[in-house]
Amino acid sequence: MEIFNLTWIDYSIMIIYFAFVLGIGWALKKYMKNAAAFLEAGRSLPAWVTGLAFISANLGALEVIGMAASGAKYGMATVHFYWIGAIPAMIFLAIFMMPFYYGSKARSVPEYLKLRFDEKTRGFNAFSFAIMTIFASGISMYALALLMETLLGWNFHMSLFISAFIVLLYTYLGGLSSAIYNEVLQFFLIVIGFLPLVVVGMVKVGGWDGLVEKLAMNPATAGMHHSWQAISPEHPMGGWMGIFFGLGFVLSFGYWCTNFLVVQRAMAAGSMSDARKTPLIGAFPKMFIPFLVIFPGMIAIALINMGDENFQLPIKGNGYDYDLVIPMLLHRFMPTGVLGLGLTALMASFMSGMAGNVTAFNTVWTYDIYQSYIVPGKPDRHYLRVGQLTTIFGVLVSILTAYVAKQFNNVMDFLQLIFAFINAPLFAAFLAGMFTKRATGNGAFYGLVSGTFSAAMVHGLTQPEGAQTLIKGGWAGAVLQTFPSEMAQNFWIAIIAFSVALVVTIVVSLSGKRTKSDAELKGLVYQLTPKTIDDSKHWYQRPVFLAWVVAAIAVVLSIVFW
Amino acid sequence: MGLDIKIPIGAMFLLLGIILTIFGLATLHDEMYSISIGKNINLISGIGMVIFGSFMLLVSDLVRKKKLVDEDALKDDVLKKDD
């Protein structure tokens, strides 16, 4: 279905972008002298760089495409993934958790678990995280190649190998710093590349008022411009409880506070103060990204309501193929030139998703698996080499995963779901571990295992409305509860998994002896760590002040778009 | 790491901006702009990117000069103490 006709100017823009990406990797090559430089960016980056990389690593294409699709399906309610589903967790990470991550000198999240709890807890987290990142990276590659095949008629295998090769080249050359610096470049490209589309689209539908008016033309889409008003237990997002506790607390804190992919960006900062400011600096643009990705979804619906003859959303099953909102809008509004810019921004977001996962995989594999279990006690040079080779290995396995995804689409959905089960219990282990000195290794480990298991069981016993395959749930034989959507189902799975994990962690911890003394837990547990004194020059640069500003803006935005 | 990322970011957007601006000027009033509600979106975006790119390069330059001045001041202090 090739829908785009690109000209030389579009190709020039793509080529220039790739040249700069590789150039940044090349420029960083000379600094890669030890494992810490390659795998931890030498802990030397400024806060604004790590802050933008922090959100850019998350702003993969699956996020851009997924949020635009969700904007078309649910309208402004999608902002709950941002203002309540990200900002509070980012503030919590900055103010309360970063002092332990950064101050403990742990090089990764699994390593923190080893210092705080024990070897088996680290092992459980390291292996599950390593597998998860490789799958995520493979799925990004697959999705990019598929999109290029559909939109541009490019050969699937060629797109896959070229994108994998570019990511491999710049992460191999410059390691984590190359990925981070490129994420900053990608951040600006994504914003600048999509901005013309949003502006032209908004002007076309008549601004915000026009958008509201056009959404109201169809009773089914009227009121989509409200974020909270439409929320009820029947709403696809599953009511206030699901949004506050499932999305806003468990899923969001589980992702932003414990996922090494994002936490790694903050740990690469040059000082404790910069590490704490990383999520807060990232929070400022994060709050406004909805306007860039959710607005297009609503513009698409407004155009359909208006009967715009130049805009069509392809049909998929018994509804629209919402994943094509961004490409179809690019096709509708962007002439050659800015079209190349928009497509390059889309490719950039796929690649930042891949590179982020590959670099996080590298660090966890080299430090937490290879150095811990396979070949410990070698000189630093050895681990630098292993880190570099792991990059190649990681990209090759990702390519393999991409082909698995091509063959067995449903299997991938299922695996992704299983790994999504791991984050919620992990956050329970972190809460118990960081804020009580009584939590033990056994408690955390059995909490994680039972939480993950109960998540799988809830999934097996519930279904979203209209589910047709067992991948959506209900595979355990009986369906005890039906949710209005998959999303609502996920929120409740997270709530239950988290609660089970927390209770089991506490009960098992209390029924055994303490395994670590107060001295061993210094710097790892809240009560045993001296309060962090921030060394920022001015009061307005301090993390706590920034946190209040971020929180205030999020509240104001929520009220404005009530 | 000794790389100032503002330089590549500034340079890339300046370059892309110049290309889009020239292309926009070359296609003034072209009928392809009917899809972008009649606006020469290449020219507008191009100019915006030139401004953004130049701004990044300018900030990078100012920061570097300020650092040099600070280092000189530091050296002067050290020299004075040595006397």
What are A151-200's pLDDT values in tens digits? Answer: 888 888 988 898 899 999 998 888 888 888 889 999 999 999 999 999 99
Average pLDDT across chain A, whole number: 83
Split at pLDDT 50, 70, 90, the class of B81 is low
Split at pLDDT 50, 70, 90, the class of A233 is low
Beta pairing partners, A464: A483
Contact of A101 with A374, CB cutoff 8 Å = no
The closest of A409, A446, A416, A415 to A429, measured between CA atoms, is: A446
B67 interfaces chain A, CB cutoff of 8 Å: no
pLDDT at A472 over 80: no
Which three-class secondary structure state does DSSP give residue B3?
Answer: coil
B47 interfaces chain A, CB cutoff of 8 Å: no
pLDDT at A415 over 70: no
Report pLDDT for A113.
87
What letter represents residue B8's amino acid?
Answer: P
Report pLDDT for A460.
79
Nearest to B20 among A37, A185, A337 (CB): A337
The closest of A546, A489, A559, A562 to A251, measured between CA atoms, is: A489
A175 min Cα distance to partner chain B (Å): 12
Report pLDDT for A174.
84
Nearest to B8 among A185, A332, A341 (CB): A185
Residue B20 with chain A: CB contacts under 8 Å: 9, 337-338, 341
Report pLDDT for B80.
61
Report pLDDT for A481.
75
Could you give the dihedral angle defined by the CA atoms of residues B40, A14, A183 and A382, in that order, rounded to the nearest 10 degrees? Answer: -170
The closest of A60, A175, A355, A169 to B3, measured between CA atoms, is: A175
- Chain B contacts in chain A segment 470-509 (CB below 8 A): none
Average pLDDT over residues A479-500: 80
A161 min Cα distance to partner chain B (Å): 25
Beta pairing partners, A269: A45
Per residue in A77-130, pLDDT (tens digit) is 888 888 888 899 999 998 888 888 888 888 888 888 888 888 888 888 888 888
Residue B23 with chain A: CB contacts under 8 Å: 9, 337
The H-or-E segment that residue A6 falls in is: none
**CA A89/CA A245 separation, integer angstroms:** 12
The b/e string for A493-517 (b: 16+ C-beta within 10 A; e otherwise) is bbbbbbbbbbebbbebbeeeeeebe
Whether A20 sits inside 8 A of B8 (CB atoms) is yes
Average pLDDT over residues A203-228: 79
The closest of A356, A396, A116 to A259, measured between CA atoms, is: A356
How is residue A525 annotated by DSSP?
Answer: S
Residue A185 with chain B: CB contacts under 8 Å: 5, 8-9, 12
Whether B5 sits inside 8 A of A188 (CB atoms) is no
Average pLDDT across chain B, whole number: 84
A189: closest chain B residue by CA: B13
Contact of A167 with A140, CB cutoff 8 Å = no
Report pLDDT for A416.
61
Contact of A212 with A225, CB cutoff 8 Å = yes
The closest of A172, A151, A135 to A38, measured between CA atoms, is: A172
Angle, alpha carbons A352-A87-A436 (nearest 5°): 105
Split at pLDDT 50, 70, 90, the class of A150 is confident
A31 min Cα distance to partner chain B (Å): 7
**CA A70/CA A228 separation, integer angstroms:** 15
Contact of A53 with A269, CB cutoff 8 Å = no
A261 interfaces chain B, CB cutoff of 8 Å: no
B50: closest chain A residue by CA: A192
How much of chain A exceeds pLDDT 90, in percent? 9
Whether A337 sits inside 8 A of B24 (CB atoms) is yes
**pTM for the whole thing?**
0.89
Least confident of A429-433, A488-492, B3-7: A488-492
Cβ burial of B75 (10 Å; 0-12, 13-18, 19+) is: exposed
The b/e string for A106-121 (b: 16+ C-beta within 10 A; e otherwise) is bbbbbbbbbbbbbebb
Least confident of A176-180, A522-526, B47-51: A522-526
Least confident of A150-164, A210-224, A266-280, A414-428: A414-428
A31 interfaces chain B, CB cutoff of 8 Å: yes
Average pLDDT over residues B48-77: 85
Report pLDDT for A46.
87
The closest of A41, A113, A22 to A363, measured between CA atoms, is: A41
A502 min Cα distance to partner chain B (Å): 41
B23 interfaces chain A, CB cutoff of 8 Å: yes
Least confident of A186-195, A430-439, A497-506, A551-560: A551-560
How much of chain A exceeds pLDDT 70, in percent? 95
pLDDT at A2 over 60: no
DSSP secondary structure letters along A222-233: TTTT-SSTT--T
Split at pLDDT 50, 70, 90, the class of B13 is very high
Report pLDDT for A63.
80
Nearest to A45 among B1, B8, B33 (CB): B1
Report pLDDT for A504.
92
Residue B45 with chain A: CB contacts under 8 Å: 192, 196, 337-338, 341
pLDDT at B52 over 90: yes
Angle, alpha carbons B28-B31-B33 (nearest 5°): 75
Report pLDDT for A250.
80
Between the alpha carbon of residue A94 and those of residues A90, A141, A330, the distances in Å are 6, 31, 37
Cβ burial of A180 (10 Å; 0-12, 13-18, 19+) is: buried
pLDDT at A132 over 70: yes
pLDDT at B40 over 90: no
Whether B1 sits inside 8 A of A185 (CB atoms) is no
Report pLDDT for A414.
62
Nearest to B16 among A13, A24, A44 (CB): A13
Report pLDDT for A411.
57
Whether B8 sits inside 8 A of A196 (CB atoms) is no
Per residue in A39-86, pLDDT (tens digit) is 877 788 888 889 999 888 888 777 888 888 888 888 888 888 888 888
pLDDT at A379 over 70: yes
B49: closest chain A residue by CA: A192
Can you list the alpha helix ranges (DSSP code H) found in A334-440?
A: 338-363, 380-407, 409-435
Nearest to A12 among B19, B37, B41 (CB): B19
B24: closest chain A residue by CA: A337
Q: How many CB pairs under 8 A join A and B?
A: 93
Non-local (6+) Cβ contacts of A103 within 8 A are: A272, A523, A529, A532
